[in-house]
Amino acid sequence: MSTPLEKWVEKQAELTKPKRIYWCNGSEKEAREIVEIGMREEKINAEPIFTELNQKTWPNAYYHRSHPTDVARTEQLTFVCHPDKETAGPNNNWMHPDEAKRKLIKLSDGCMKGRTMYVLPYMMGHPDSPYSKACVQLTDVSYVAVSMRVMTRLGSDVIKKIGNSENFVKGLHSVGDFDPNKRFIMHFPDESFVWSIGSGYGGNALLGKKCFSLRLASCLGLKEGWLAEHMVIVGIEDPQGKITYIAAALPSACGKTNLAMLQSTLPGYKVWTIGDDIAWMNIDPDGRLWAINPETGYFGVAPGTALKTNPNMIKTLKAGKFFPTLFTNTGLDLDKNEPWWEGLDGDMPENIIDWQGKKWAPETGTKAAHPNSRFTVSVYNSATLSKEFDNPKGVPISAIIFGGKRTQLIPLVVESFNWQNGVFMGARMGSETTAAAIGLKAGVRRDPMSMLPFCGYNMGDYFKHWLNIGKKLKNPPKIFSVNWFRCDENGSFIWPGFGDNIRVLKWIIDRVNNKVKAISTPVGLVPDLDDMNTSGLNIPRENLEKLVEVKISDWKNELDDTEKFFKQFGKKFPPELENELAELNSDANR
Ligand code: SAT
Ligand code: MN
């Protein structure tokens, strides 16, 4: 008798028609075998899936180039298929599940012909955690198969765990023929199912990541009373050895991965990494919020990663303990057979090819590494990994941070007055998109809690859910906003950022532990500069003051823009947050 899992795999194989089915056990030996297959047999654009990199300088590292039309997540081709549009909300592309399936069945018929179907049983979260979920993804490309070994807890134990149950998260992935016109990433929350075709890239293809752990999981969280968030989790150790755990949401290009492994410039302070992208947060019986990182790997942007910006990540990438480490769409130093990207330390190599394999030099006027080129590396390779990483219960969260890149207006750090005010802070978050290339004034993209592309249901309901979670917490974390990017009148960043961000984190944990007072403004509580450790910073006092300045009369445009954004959620938008906005508006117009 076959199990529901075996039956499901059979059924998908009937449709996609692979030449063989390869059940993965998750071992290192197997991963080496699959990388070999990717080097010798499988091809994209007539090129092998992997090439081996210099094993002396980058142990266990391999290089991968994706199809040139397939270098990032494609939000316009991503759909959430609830039975009705209202549940998906204005923040999602929506298609009726029946229509979506008709489309996908047509596109998937025979899509794995001549290819191998890898069956990947994996856990999101520690297998002993009450919060973890058993999942199975099918894919027809070796790159995805070994990436999932790095990013998740992959192994045959999961098959035993699923046993005869129908209750596992399903993912069906095929690269198809990479045609962007036949590319879809479709989510079926009612069936815990993701169906993705036409893309081999990151969040489109590693279905345990954004597709399951955020879009589907956010729907589960709404139903079951927990939060699936796009957040870093870190422990901050003070000179006395006390560790305070925080979770932080930052949109892309705001230094999220750097924060996850921050190298402190304050003596005696250390940052321990739990996660760099996703947090699942549950309320324990004592009314505290606990977080786990469901992943086991980092899928980070390569350009800009260097000893100066993120020394711990460079060390992690060179560690080579857990097999393999992958580089996708970076440039390549042909003399040394090493990955290369803009911002990497050392002299510029003489003999570089770019991410499309073309001869490259600075005069070419392009970038050698695609700006969204990535590394994939196991958390177990990182020296900053928290000793609580594998704790099935996770870590207790004392502070939640919302951030964004704002050159004006938003202070370096603000503490909310209370949970509701903090939810309002997260909901009105925005980040500046760089439009410098086309000479336009940079614009602000609203991105509540950094979840706009990842909330699998109506964001009006999401805000309500956040408010409800607050009501259930006896001991709620304090909520803060941060902004490392405020500029002076010459347009230069005032705050040095990177390792010096520990100074802001120190103030945050001092507030959590009731060690310092704060100054009240209409938008929240800001530091008294005497309570912030700024020694050795070489920033004039008046500039430091500018960092925490709030002139509410300057906020009118900001509040108008926020109101416009909120309005799209109509009746779903919680009145509590409308009141918060009305209060700020009346302050601004006083
Ligand atoms: O491609 S991923 O979604 O995994 C990374 C990202 O775009 O944030
Ligand atoms: Mn992310």
pLDDT, tens digit, 9 for 90 and up, residues 396-406? 999 999 999 99
Residue 201 CA: which ligand 1 atom is closest?
1
Average pLDDT, the chain: 96
- For a mutational test of ligand 1's pocket, the pick from 150, 206, 299, 374, i.e. the residue with the most ligand atoms closer than 8 A to its C-beta, is 299
3-state secondary structure at position 393? coil
CA 277 to ligand 1 centroid distance, Å: 9
Residue 374 CA: which ligand 1 atom is closest?
5
pLDDT at 1: 82
- For a mutational test of ligand 1's pocket, the pick from 209, 254, 329, 377, i.e. the residue with the most ligand atoms closer than 8 A to its C-beta, is 209
pLDDT above 80: residue 441:
no
Tens-digit pLDDT profile for residues 566-577: 999 999 999 999
Contact yes or no for 215/80 (Cβ under 8 A): yes
Tens-digit pLDDT profile for residues 131-171: 999 999 999 999 999 999 999 999 999 999 999 999 999 99
DSSP one-letter code for 178: -
pLDDT above 90: residue 590:
no
Residue 430 bridge partners (DSSP): 446
CA 315 to ligand 2 centroid distance, Å: 21
Q: Kindly write down the DSSP assignment for every residue of 15-62, as one continuous string.
A: HH--SEEEE----HHHHHHHHHHHHHT-EETTEES-EE--TTTSTTEE
pLDDT at 235: 98
pLDDT at 253: 80
Does residue 202's CB lie within 6 angstroms of at least one atom of ligand 1? yes
CA 389 to ligand 1 centroid distance, Å: 22
Sign of the CA dihedral running 346, 351, 355, 361:
positive
Q: With helix as H, strand as E and coil as C, how does 69-86 read? A: CCCCCCHHHEEECCCCHH
Contact yes or no for 172/140 (Cβ under 8 A): no
Does residue 215's CB lie within 6 angstroms of at least one atom of ligand 1? no
Residue 210 CA: which ligand 1 atom is closest?
3
Domains of the chain by residue range: 4-42+74-225, 229-296+388-552
Q: What is the mean pLDDT of residues 17-28?
A: 98
Q: What is the mean pLDDT of residues 368-385?
A: 97
DSSP one-letter code for 493: B
pLDDT at 433: 82
Does residue 73's CB lie within 6 angstroms of at least one atom of ligand 1? yes
Residue 277 CA: which ligand 1 atom is closest?
8
Residue owning the nearest CA to atom 4 of ligand 1: 203
Q: In the structure, what pLDDT confidence band is assigned to residue 439 with cuts at 50, 70 and 90?
A: very low
Is 211 catalytic? The answer is no
Question: If we measure between CA atoms, which residue out of 217, 186, 210 comes closest to residue 453?
Answer: 210
Q: What is the mean pLDDT of residues 49-77?
A: 96
Tens-digit pLDDT profile for residues 280-295: 999 999 999 999 999 9
pLDDT at 442: 64
Contact yes or no for 528/518 (Cβ under 8 A): yes
Contact yes or no for 226/280 (Cβ under 8 A): yes
Residue owning the nearest CA to atom 6 of ligand 1: 203
Task: State both tokens at 456.
Answer: 């699998």
Q: How far is it, in rounded angstroms, from Cα 344 to Cα 348?
A: 9
pLDDT at 438: 46
Residue owning the nearest CA to atom 1 of ligand 1: 203
Tens-digit pLDDT profile for residues 454-501: 999 999 999 999 999 999 999 999 999 999 999 999 999 999 999 999
Tens-digit pLDDT profile for residues 516-570: 999 999 999 999 999 999 999 999 999 999 999 999 999 999 999 999 999 999 9
Residue 204 CA: which ligand 1 atom is closest?
1
- For a mutational test of ligand 1's pocket, the pick from 73, 194, 252, i.e. the residue with the most ligand atoms closer than 8 A to its C-beta, is 73
Q: What is the mean pLDDT of residues 109-126?
A: 98
CA 232 to ligand 2 centroid distance, Å: 9
CA 57 to ligand 1 centroid distance, Å: 27
Residue 209 CA: which ligand 1 atom is closest?
4
pLDDT above 70: residue 435:
no
Does residue 297's CB lie within 6 angstroms of at least one atom of ligand 1? no
pLDDT above 90: residue 313:
yes
pLDDT above 70: residue 440:
no
Q: Which residues contact 472 (CB under 8 A, 6 or more apart)?
A: 225, 283, 287
CATH of domain 4-42+74-225: 3.40.449.10
Domain range 229-296+388-552, its CATH number among 3.90.228.20, 3.20.20.70, 3.30.465.10, 2.30.30.30: 3.90.228.20
CA 542 to ligand 2 centroid distance, Å: 35
What residues are neighbours of ligand 2 (ion), with CB under 5 Å? 277
Q: How many CB atoms lie within 10 A of CB 453?
A: 18
Residue owning the nearest CA to atom 2 of ligand 1: 203
Does residue 203's CB lie within 6 angstroms of at least one atom of ligand 1? yes
Residue 202 CA: which ligand 1 atom is closest?
1
Q: How far is it, in rounded angstroms, from Cα 194 to Cα 104?
A: 11
> Residue 223 belongs to what H/E stretch?
helix 217-224
Contact yes or no for 299/209 (Cβ under 8 A): yes
Residue owning the nearest CA to atom 3 of ligand 1: 203
Contact yes or no for 415/513 (Cβ under 8 A): no
Task: State both tokens at 317.
Answer: 């990438």
Length of the chain: 590
The residue from 81, 111, 219, 254 that is catalytic is: 254
Percent of the chain surpassing pLDDT 90: 96
Percent of the chain surpassing pLDDT 70: 98
Residue owning the nearest CA to atom 7 of ligand 1: 73
Which amino acid, one-letter code, is at 18?
A: P
CA 179 to ligand 1 centroid distance, Å: 20
CA 22 to ligand 2 centroid distance, Å: 30
Q: In the structure, what pLDDT confidence band is assigned to residue 45 with cuts at 50, 70 and 90?
A: confident
